[in-house]
């Protein structure tokens, strides 16, 4: 896979690993990578110094739509198309909130915070970037989802905000695939489950995960990029795991 890529949420974890990998591929992507505070994203800054001609950092906080439209504007001054957009940003826990074990823990502020990033974020990015995908070349718009966003796979319950936000994200993915399919027939829109990956997001929950099942960000990113490589147009609107297996809605 090569071309021009946009990684949204690249400061750490999977976003950083995906950015690093896209730059290291022999074909060599040109990459735009966004994060909330580019000047404080040390590792991403070091990558930008390593690849000054191929990596450009832009600021996006998905909870502030004006930052997404400004980033699109900045992008438009440099390129007229993208071949790959990956929405990575996601939250599971944060200051003052954690996944709900039971109904009594449900808190509207946490629901709003999680939905804003996980569900509204990729949709607003699509709103401002879709014009870069309306070309005749193959392109992919992918959002990192999670297996627990599958309604049919929900056996344990709990985690209301995270589950609900990822299920909503998956519905937005499907809906977007239909609209983009009309105007950009070679665009493929998918959700991706990265596996259980050793990042800040999963840290508090790793004690229940067998060691062999915990993927490094590097390994997960490599698998996800190879899944994206193998996608065909019949796959648009669907969600796949890091092994390329489809996850039922």
Ligand X SMILES: NC(=O)c1ccc[n+]([C@@H]2O[C@H](COP(=O)([O-])OP(=O)(O)OC[C@H]3O[C@@H](n4cnc5c(N)ncnc54)[C@H](OP(=O)(O)O)[C@@H]3O)[C@@H](O)[C@H]2O)c1
List 4, 7, 14, 227, residue binding ligand X (CB under 6 A): 14
Residue 218 in contact with ligand X, rule: CB under 6 A:
no
Q: Residues 67, 37: contact at Cβ < 8 Å?
A: no
Residue 224 in contact with ligand X, rule: CB under 6 A:
no
Residue closer to ligand X by CB (options 27, 212) is 212
Residue closer to ligand X by CB (options 135, 171) is 171
Element holding 5 (H helix, E strand): strand 4-8
Longest dimension (CA), the chain: 52
- Build a one-symbol-per-residue string for 136-175: x at contacts with ligand X by CB under 6 A, - elsewhere: --------x-x-----------------------------
Q: Residues 31, 78: contact at Cβ < 8 Å?
A: no
d(C-alpha 118, C-alpha 175), whole Å: 16
Q: What are phi and psi of 163, to 5 degrees?
A: -60, -50
Residue identified by tokens 């992918």 is 142
Residue 180 in contact with ligand X, rule: CB under 6 A:
no
List 5, 6, 7, 11, residue binding ligand X (CB under 6 A): 11
Bridge-based pairing state of the strands 239-241 and 214-215: unpaired
d(C-alpha 119, C-alpha 100), whole Å: 18
List 35, 86, 184, 188, residue binding ligand X (CB under 6 A): 35
List 15, 38, 99, 237, residue binding ligand X (CB under 6 A): 15
**Window 110 to 129, contacts with ligand X (CB under 6 A):** 117
> Of 44-52, 87-95, 151-159, 179-187, which part binds ligand X (CB under 6 A)?
87-95
> How far is the first Cα of the chain from the last one, in angstroms, to the nearest whole number?
27
3-state secondary structure of 39: helix
Rounded to the nearest whole angstrom, what is the least distance from the CB of residue 88 to ligand X in the complex?
Answer: 5
Residue closer to ligand X by CB (options 110, 146) is 146
| CA nearest to 189, candidates 198, 179, 199 | 179
Rounded to the nearest whole angstrom, what is the least distance from the CB of residue 117 to ligand X in the complex?
Answer: 5
Contact set with ligand X (CB under 6 A): 9, 11-15, 35-36, 60-63, 88-91, 117, 144, 146, 193-194, 196-197, 199-202
């Amino acid at each position: 896979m090569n071309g021009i890529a946009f990684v949204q949420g690249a400061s750490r974890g999977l976003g950083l690993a995906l950015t690093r990998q896209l730059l290291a591929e022999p074909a060599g992507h040109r990459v735009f990578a966004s994060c909330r505070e580019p000047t404080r994203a040390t590792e991403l800054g070091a990558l930008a110094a390593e690849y000054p001609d191929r990596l450009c950092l832009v600021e996006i906080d998905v909870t502030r739509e004006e930052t997404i439209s400004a980033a699109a504007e900045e992008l438009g001054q440099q390129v007229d198309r993208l071949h790959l957009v990956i929405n990575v940003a996601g939250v599971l826990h944060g200051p003052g909130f954690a996944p709900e074990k039971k109904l009594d823990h449900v808190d509207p502020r946490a629901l709003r915070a999680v939905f804003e990033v996980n569900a509204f974020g990729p949709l607003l990015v699509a709103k401002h970037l879709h014009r870069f995908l309306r070309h005749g070349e193959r392109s992919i718009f992918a959002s990192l989802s999670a297996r627990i966003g599958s309604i049919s796979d929900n056996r344990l319950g709990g985690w209301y905000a995270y589950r609900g936000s990822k299920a909503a994200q998956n519905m937005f993915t499907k809906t977007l695939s239909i609209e983009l399919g009309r105007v950009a027939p070679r665009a493929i829109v998918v959700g991706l489950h990265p596996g259980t990956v050793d990042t800040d997001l999963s840290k508090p929950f790793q004690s229940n995960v067998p060691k062999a099942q915990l993927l490094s960000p590097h390994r997960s990113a490599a698998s996800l990029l190879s899944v994206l490589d193998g996608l065909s147009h019949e796959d648009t609107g669907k969600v796949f795991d890091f092994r390329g297996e489809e996850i039922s809605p």
